[in-house]
Chain A
Amino acid sequence: MLELIDTYWLYFLVGQYPEGPLGGLALTVLLSGAALVLALPLGLLLGIARVSPYRAISLPVAALVQVVRAVPLLLVLFWVYFFLPALTGVKTSQASTMLIVLVVFDSIYLAEIVAAGIRALPKGQLESARSLGLGYGAALRHVVLPQTLRHGLPSIVNQLVSTIKATSLGYIIGLSEVSFIATQINTLVFTQAVEVYLILALTYFILCFGLSRLAFLLERRLQRRSAQAS
């Protein structure tokens, strides 16, 4: 196992970079982070729309959430991979295809986190902000959203864990993320499948377990602080 790591660690980490496109673990982490950051403003908007008092706004978003959560990410990946080039006439790379799909899914899941956070706030927060003369938008921006986001932070970290796990599905369209690179290493060495895939599993485990512990610690800290406040 050590010999394997010694020979292939660089390939595992960055793929063919700098001779070719960036790949491996670096691509997995970069893609997940970028997807979450890009999805955040969209998720915020969708989340606010989801709890909007106007049904004309909240209903379509609710329907969108239902549909996206009912289909496998893999299927949407195939749709985008086959039809985006046909529609735009430009061949999209595997990485940008994956990024688009991840942003769509992340913004939907973030919207649910934001909506749940807004609903969990005491109603008086919005009402008193409004009665102080703030408009709906200003009340959301200055009073409701800062609190929602602070409480939603652990969930957002957990969403990052889900995104990291979801990038592995890029394997199927030939995206050279870490699972794909591991399979290529497996083909190169041929006889050490157990070691190769244990290293892959361990890598994901360290990354995801570390992040979910961070989410757990954040949650505990928030709980302690709100216990002190009340």
Chain B
Amino acid sequence: MFFDPTILQSGQYHDWLVQGLVLSIQLTIVSFAFALPFGALLAVMRTSSFALPRAIGATLVEAIRNVPLLAHLLFWYFAFPELLPESLREVLYANNPEVVCAVIALSLYAGVHMAEDIRSGIRAVPATQLEAARSLGLGRVAAVRLVLLPQALRASVPPLLSQTVNLWKDSSVATVIGAAELMYQAARVETASFRSLEAFTFATLAYLTVSLLISAAAHLFQRRYPVRTA
């Protein structure tokens, strides 16, 4: 048969593909959970009034985003364990090194992109907002927390969601170090059964569905909470 949908509905190949999809989603969620605070920290550093944190933040962002994700993955998987002391390396090798290294690489890569989105959110808030808050008697920290950040975060949510779509798509690159995510499993089904059409159709629909769901969420958010212009 040209296209055999039954192998997607049950059986071994179905199980492989679903396992891959589940791991892809897990990779995305865990990496997101690390990337967001990392990105927020970098954004705060880059908008700091002190030169040192600004310089460190800028260096980290440029160093990470100007190297392709694939090179990050190769480095973290093949080179990074060499730098670890013997005992830690054994711990890593005993605990799914592919997944751990993929999470490190994805978190760093997504983190610096999120940092830039949060930073432009912070910069989009007019400076007069902070000045007005200060002159009303709020302290520096209170002014940032109560006036600056709520507006900055609201402006950053749509770009952060589209960054999440990128993270979801980028999780496919983890296949290069053998993390058994969706792309890896689709290729595995292809090799084992030569049913490439079915395997890749499954993967395409899965990637498409999740991406479009996140994009729709971004669209809804923008509608429900439009950025207020000062």
Contact = CB atoms under 8 A, between A and B. Distances in A.
Interface of A: 66-67, 69-75, 78-79, 82-83, 161, 164-166, 168-169, 171-172, 179, 182-183, 186, 193-194, 196-198, 200-201, 204-205, 208-209, 212
Interface stretch (B41-49, B60-68, B86-94, B138-146): B60-68
Contacts of A161: 66
A70 to B, nearest CB: 4
Q: Which 5 A-B pairs have the closest CB atoms?
A: A70-B211, A165-B68, A208-B66, A72-B172, A168-B70
Nearest to B194: A82
Given A70-B165, A70-B215, A169 B173 contact: yes
Given A70-B215, A171-B176, A196-B79, A75 B204 contact: yes
B67 A78 contact: no
A182 B78 CA distance: 12
Interface of A is mostly: helix
A202 B131 CA distance: 42
Given A183-B74, A198-B75, A208 B175 contact: no
Contacts of B176: 171-172
What class of interface size applies to chain B in its complex with A? 35 or more
Contact of A179 (B71, B172, B190, B215): B71
23 contacts: A66-B212, A69-B211, A70-B211, A72-B173, A72-B183, A72-B207, A74-B173, A74-B175, A75-B172, A75-B203, A75-B204, A75-B207, A78-B200, A82-B196, A83-B197, A168-B69, A179-B68, A183-B74, A186-B78, A193-B82, A200-B71, A201-B75, A205-B67
B74 A197 contact: yes
Which of B72, B74, B170 has the most chain A CB within a 10 Å cutoff?
Answer: B74
A165 B69 contact: yes
Contacts of A208: 66-67
Given A197-B75, A198-B75, A205-B66, 11 more contacts: A69-B165, A70-B212, A75-B203, A83-B197, A165-B67, A169-B70, A179-B71, A200-B74, A204-B71, A205-B67, A209-B66
A225 to B, nearest CB: 23
Nearest to A170: B70
A75 B200 contact: yes
Interface string B160-195: 000001000110110110000001001100100000
Nearest to B186: A78
A204 B172 CA distance: 21
Contacts of A205: 62-63, 66-67
A168 B68 contact: yes
B208 A67 contact: yes
A204 B66 contact: yes
B173 A198 contact: no
Nearest to B207: A71
B230 interface: no
Nearest to A187: B78
A166 to B, nearest CB: 7
Contact of B187 (A78, A194, A201): A78
B22 to A, nearest CB: 17
Interface in B89-135: none
B1 interface: no
Contacts of B78: 183, 186, 193, 197
Nearest to B212: A70
